Amino acid sequence: MKEKVLIFDTTLRDGEQSPGASLNVQEKVEIARQLEKLNVDIIEAGFPASSPLQFDAVRQIGEESGKIVAALSRAVEGDIKSSWEALRNARHPRIHTFVSTSDIHIMGKFGHDRYGKTLAEKQRTILAMAVNAVRYAKTLAGDVEFSAEDAGRTDPSYLAEVIEAVIDAGATTVNIPDTTGYTWPSEFGRKIADLKKRVTNIDRAVVSVHCHNDLGLAVANTLSAIENGARQAECSMNGIGERAGNASLEEIVMALKVRGDLHDYYTDITTEELYNTSRMVSSFTGLVIQPNKAIVGDNAFAHESGIHQDGMLKNRQTYEVMTPQSVGVPQTHIVLGRHSGKHGLQARLQALGYTVAGEELEKVYQRFLSVADKKKEVYDDDLRVLMGDELNRPLEPLELDYLHINSGTASIPTATVRIRVKEDTYEESSTGDGPVDACFKAIERALGIGSLVNSYSVRSTTAGRQALGEATVRLKDSGRFYTGRGVSTDIIEASARAYLQALSLRQEAGLKNNKNTIDNGI
C-alpha cells in the first residue's frame, strides 16, 4: 500500500523570511494561486500578528484558496487570536502555533526569571505555554498544528513529553523542526522513529518535519524522516527561507517520484507545474536561482560535453534521470513581439501561471508594448520580470517622472531626476562617480535625504544585448532593511526605479508596521 506524504508549502512564510525577499499582498496571492495549481496540500500564507501586510495576505489567500491555509503564531494568545481573525473566513483554516523546546533556546529566549529560575522550571513553563496555546487554538479552529522549535537539538524525552501533551490538548499535526539545520540524516530519522515509539498517542496526529539547510542536509533529513514515519514535509519552492533556507519542495517531490522503486511514498504534486512555480517565486522575491540548482536551475537539463551530448542523442536516459517535461521545463521558446495582441499576451501569461484580466491586463499590455518596442523579442523570462515589476507598483508612493543622464569617457557623469509624490514633483541634478551614483545623489537631493543605500546590484534577466536589466537596491535605516527592484532595458532607469521603490517601502513602514519591525524570535 502506497502512503501519501502531505506537502506543506512555507514559501510565503519561512521563504519570505529570506534575507532580501519581501513580497507584497498581490504577489503572495498570485504565488498562492500557482501553489494551488501545483497541488500542494497546505499553504502556509504568513504570520498575521507580525504586520498588517501579513495579516491581509493570509486573509485573502484563506478566502480564495481551496487548499488548507495555515497561519503562524507564537504560543501566545494575541498571536493566535490574530491568526484566527485572518483565517476566520478561510475555506480550510489551520492555526499553526510554536514554541522553542531545546535547552539552548529555552535558556536564551526565555532567560527571564518570570519563566522560572532553573532549566527544569523553565521547561515546565514552556510545556504549559504549548498546551495552553493548542487548547486556545482548538477553541477557534479544528485544524491545529504545533511546532517544537529547535526540536532537532531538543532532549528526546522532553520532546516526547511536550508532543504527547499537545496531542492530548488537540493538536492534529505535530511538527518536528530542525530549526538550525544541525542534524544528520540518520540521526534525524532516529529522532522521528524514537518519537513514534515514546509518544503513546502519536497515532492521533500527523507527524511533520521542517528542515533547514544550514549544512546542506535539509532534503536528506526530510527524506530520512519520511522513511521513519513522518507524513508531512514542510518545504519551500527553490529552498528559500531563513539563512541557508528550507528543504526544497521540488527536490523532495522529485526524489520521491524518481526513486519510487525504493519506497512506497507518494505526493499529489503536479510536477509539471514545478518550473513555472519556481520561476514565479524567483521573479517576485528577486532571489535568483543558481544555474546548477537541482530540478529547476538553468543547467539542470543542459549537456555540455561532447561525450554527454552524444550519449543523450542515442538515449536520453544515459545522462538524465527524469525528463525536463516531467518538471515543466519548456521545450519550445515562444517569443512575443510588438505585433502580439492583448489576448496572445494574456494566453502566454496564463501558460506561465499568471492570472491577469481587465484593468490589470491593460496595464501589463501597455508595459509589454513599451518593452517590445525597445526589445523586439519578448521572452518568457521578460514576462515574468514584468509581472513582478507590475505587481510591485501599487506600493510606490514615490514615482520616477523624468530622468536624464549625461555620461561618457570624457565628461563628468551628471543626472537630473524629477520625482512625483502624489500631486507634487521634486527635481534636482547631481554629478557622481558614475551615472548610477549621480542618479542616486540626485534622488537624495530631490528628497532631502542622506544616502541610505546598503547594497546595490544589477543583472540581466534574459540573454542578448537588448535584455531587460533588473536592479536591486537594499536600504538600511534604523536597523531595518528595505529592498526595492526596478526593471528596464535601460539599467540606470532600472536603478532609479529600484531606489525609489526601496524608499517607498521605507516610507510605508514609517506609517505602518512591516514584517521587519517585530522581533518574533524565529
Q: Which residues bind Zn ion (CB under 5 A)?
A: 14
What character string, x for contact with ligand KIV (CB under 6 A) and - otherwise, covers 133-152? --------------x-x---
State the nearest-atom distance from the C-beta of 10 to Zn ion, in Å: 7
State the nearest-atom distance from the C-beta of 210 to Zn ion, in Å: 6
State the nearest-atom distance from the C-beta of 221 to ligand KIV, in Å: 12
* Residue 171, C-beta contacts closer than 8 angstroms, at least 6 positions apart: 134, 144, 145, 146, 205
Alpha-carbon gap, residue 347 to 156, rounded angstroms: 53
Question: 201: which 3 cell numbers?
Answer: 498517542
State the nearest-atom distance from the C-beta of 98 to ligand KIV, in Å: 4
Pick between residue 147 and residue 282 the one whose CB is nearest to ligand KIV.
Answer: 147
Pick between residue 213 and residue 267 the one whose CB is nearest to Zn ion.
Answer: 213
Residues 163-202 that bind ligand KIV (CB under 6 A): 175, 177, 179
Residue 487 CA to its chain's centroid (Å): 20
Residue 63 CA to its chain's centroid (Å): 20
Burial class of residue 505 (count of CB atoms within 10 Å of its CB; 0-12, 13-18, 19+): buried
Alpha-carbon gap, residue 291 to 300, rounded angstroms: 7
Pick between residue 218 and residue 494 the one whose CB is nearest to ligand KIV.
Answer: 218
Pick between residue 8 and residue 265 the one whose CB is nearest to ligand KIV.
Answer: 8
Pick between residue 44 and residue 380 the one whose CB is nearest to ligand KIV.
Answer: 44
State the nearest-atom distance from the C-beta of 208 to ligand KIV, in Å: 9
Pick between residue 55 and residue 98 the one whose CB is nearest to ligand KIV.
Answer: 98
Task: Tell me if 98 contacts ligand KIV by CB under 6 A.
Answer: yes
State the nearest-atom distance from the C-beta of 520 to ligand KIV, in Å: 9
Alpha-carbon gap, residue 276 to 114, rounded angstroms: 49
Question: Cα 32–208–109 angle (5° rounding)?
Answer: 90
Pick between residue 156 and residue 510 the one whose CB is nearest to ligand KIV.
Answer: 156
Q: Which does 98 bind (CB under 5 to 8 A by kind): ligand KIV, Zn ion, none?
A: ligand KIV
Please, what sign has the CA dihedral across residues 460, 240, 185, 178? positive
Q: In whole angstroms, how large is the CA radius of gyration of the chain?
A: 25
Task: Tell me if 432 contacts ligand KIV by CB under 6 A.
Answer: no
| Cell 498517542 found at | 201
Cross-strand partners of 234: 8, 210
State the nearest-atom distance from the C-beta of 13 to ligand KIV, in Å: 8
Burial class of residue 469 (count of CB atoms within 10 Å of its CB; 0-12, 13-18, 19+): buried
Q: Which does 494 bind (CB under 5 to 8 A by kind): ligand KIV, Zn ion, none?
A: none
Pick between residue 177 and residue 353 the one whose CB is nearest to ligand KIV.
Answer: 177
Q: Which does 149 bind (CB under 5 to 8 A by kind): Zn ion, ligand KIV, none?
A: ligand KIV
Q: Contacts with ligand KIV: how many residues (CB under 6 A)?
A: 10
> CA end-to-end span of the chain, whole Å?
38
State the nearest-atom distance from the C-beta of 212 to Zn ion, in Å: 6
Task: Tell me if 14 contacts ligand KIV by CB under 6 A.
Answer: yes
Pick between residue 147 and residue 238 the one whose CB is nearest to ligand KIV.
Answer: 147
Report the C-alpha dihedral over residues 251, 253, 256, 259, rounded to 10 degrees: -60
Task: Tell me if 210 contacts ligand KIV by CB under 6 A.
Answer: yes
State the nearest-atom distance from the C-beta of 213 to Zn ion, in Å: 10
Task: Tell me if 488 contacts ligand KIV by CB under 6 A.
Answer: no
Task: Tell me if 522 contacts ligand KIV by CB under 6 A.
Answer: yes
Other beta carbons within 10 angstroms of residue 445's beta carbon come to: 16
Taking phi over 0 as left and psi of -120 to 50 as alpha, with beta for the rest, 111 belongs to alpha
Question: 199: which 3 cell numbers?
Answer: 509518544
- Calculate helix-pair angle for 358-375, 380-392, nearest 10 degrees: 130
Report the C-alpha dihedral over residues 288, 290, 296, 301, rounded to 10 degrees: 140
Positions in the binding site for ligand KIV (CB under 6 A): 14, 98, 147, 149, 175, 177, 179, 210, 212, 522
